[in-house]
Amino acid sequence: MRRLVYLLCFGPGHEVLTLRQEPAGRLTLPSTRRRERETYEQAALRLMATGDIRPGDVVARAEPLSMPSPTGRREVRIFTAHADEPFPMEAGGWEQWEAVLPELRHLGIPAFALLIEGYIGGWIPDGWVTLDPD
C-alpha cells in the first residue's frame, strides 16, 4: 500500500501553500511518502520542518479516486497546518483557497472542498476525519 502525506497549510488570510509539480507545472500540495517504520504524524512533522509551520487541529484520511496504485490500495493523510506569515517557497507559493480548488482536482481526494470549507468555518471537529468518496 502506498502511503502519502499531504500538508494543507493555511496562511493568516486562509491562503493555501501550494507547489508547482514538474514537468506539467500544475499546482499540488506539499507532500511526502511515509518512510518505513515512520508514523503518518512523524512524516507530517518532517514536512512541516521545511518552514515556520505549526500543526493544525484536523487530520483527514482518504483513499484518492484517481491514480490507482499498481501495488494495491492507495491511502493518504491530509494534515492541516498554519503559518503565521506566508514565507517564500522556491518552487511554490500561496494561493487563495477558493482559487486553488479547481487546480487540485487531480489529487482525486473526495470531499476535499468540504474539508477546507469546514476547517475554515470551524464546523469540522478537531481530530481525525474520514473523507468518503460518496
26-84: per-residue pLDDT in tens?
A: 888 988 888 888 989 999 998 888 778 899 999 999 887 665 555 555 788 999 999 88
Q: What is the pTM of this model?
A: 0.85
Cell numbers of 37, please?
517504520
Q: Which of 71, 67, 76, 89 is nearest to 15 (CA)?
A: 89
| pLDDT over 80 at 120, yes or no | yes
Give the domain CATH number at 11: 3.90.79.10
Q: In total, how many domains does the chain have?
A: 1
Cell numbers of 71, please?
501495488
| pLDDT over 80 at 23, yes or no | no
